[in-house]
A = this chain, B = another copy of it.
């Protein structure tokens, strides 16, 4: 507690200095029952913009479900949010996080289908990294009985995105081939598992070499992420592949399109090239990519190719496709119950360890999903460790961003 208070003061000063804006969240006194712990992002930038604080407890509005959160998912996208490198960045301070699992604690009016005590998985438009979350019932799903809370938090974004890309955008069928980058990450593992539910699907994956031993059984062909995957894929399959899932973008868009077989589909679902140590707007950088990577539709016509973009968050929160996502979640839960898929959890972290968790995903250390476990206690040394990691992390990011664009990682939006 004392530590938290100290951190807050430092952060606030830092914010005023850097952003010229004052933090506005309500900090409730420790004695108030109507408060909760939450991770807060005070402004865009490095790891030191994150901390755990107490906030007023949210109450459900009409159509909303109030969830006592047990576990939250951490995605590469959360790093991009932290840096402000996304389209329509949120106003800070903000509680990050787009997915969680937990227990229904209360409901607003018109929330048929849920009862207090239900074990649920949910999408949230920010605010997931907290002890309590309220979100419209369209984004809440009753979990399978056998699914653990960390599994559910590892499941929602990664498996829904992987499923929709493979089966609704790209129409994966028997005998096809798929290239997925960051095969060891949350989406990569979801893609590999879903491909295994269809007969004779060949999966090409790229991943850091140290992960190969751990994930080699999940994909057909595994390449080191630093080698020329185009050449390696063509050695094995000269005609290319049917589906390319790209979270790297930049020059990889052209490479991916070039690797497609006729009638093949390239799907752009993120860009980890965006992550640097600097705070730039998504679009200012985006423009410079697409100048280079813009696709000529007549080439698609001549070559019989398909290019698609996929953003799960836009689909959910801007385009109102909750019904379609719900159908997908039901299909996925059925596959889970048949033991055909199972989310891979890399590690569990206390809310107070969010900086270390972010550093791990940034450094591509994870195999599968990083989970914030709300009930987990941080290690005694966490607080000071965290501060050190924070600054080290930020410096490292700037170094990477400026000098080496090989440091690419996936995100799901």
Contact = CB atoms under 8 A, between A and B. Distances in A.
A330 to B, nearest CB: 15
Interface stretch (A310-318, A353-361, A382-390): A310-318
A117 to B, nearest CB: 34
A392 to B, nearest CB: 32
Contacts of A324: 263
A284 interface: no
A294 B307 CA distance: 13
Interface stretch (A128-136, A196-204, A296-304): A296-304
Given A171-B168, A263-B169, A294-B294, A299 B309 contact: yes
B306 A308 contact: yes
A390 to B, nearest CB: 31
A171 B253 CA distance: 23
B309 A297 contact: yes
Contacts of A300: 268, 307-309
B263 A321 contact: yes
A286 interface: yes
A309 B301 contact: yes
A324 B299 CA distance: 21
Taking residues whose C-beta sits less than 8 angstroms from the other chain, chain A's interface range is 35 or more
A299 B262 CA distance: 23
A325 to B, nearest CB: 10
A314 to B, nearest CB: 6
Contacts of A262: 314-315, 319, 321
Contacts of A315: 262-263, 304
A305 interface: yes
Nearest to A286: B298
Contacts of A304: 309-311, 314-315, 319
A336 to B, nearest CB: 23
A27 interface: no
Nearest to A312: B304
A269 B301 contact: yes
A191 to B, nearest CB: 18
A182 to B, nearest CB: 17
A265 B314 CA distance: 17
A87 interface: yes
Interface in A69-97: 87
Given A286-B298, A290-B298, A319-B262, A314 B303 contact: yes
A288 to B, nearest CB: 11
Interface string A319-344: 10100100000000000000000000
A407 interface: no
A263 B168 contact: yes
Given A171-B171, A294-B294, A324-B263, A309 B319 contact: no
B295 A295 contact: yes
Contacts of A164: 263
Contact of A297 (B294, B299, B319): B294
A239 to B, nearest CB: 9
Nearest to A296: B290
B310 A307 contact: no
Contact of A305 (B168, B253, B299, B308): B308
Interface string A257-294: 00000110100110000000000000000100110011
A177 B303 CA distance: 26
A248 to B, nearest CB: 13
11 contacts: A168-B171, A169-B306, A262-B321, A268-B297, A300-B307, A300-B308, A301-B309, A301-B310, A301-B311, A302-B309, A304-B319
Given A168-B171, A297-B307, A307-B308, 14 more contacts: A169-B306, A253-B297, A263-B315, A265-B306, A289-B298, A290-B296, A290-B298, A294-B297, A295-B297, A299-B309, A300-B308, A302-B311, A304-B309, A305-B309
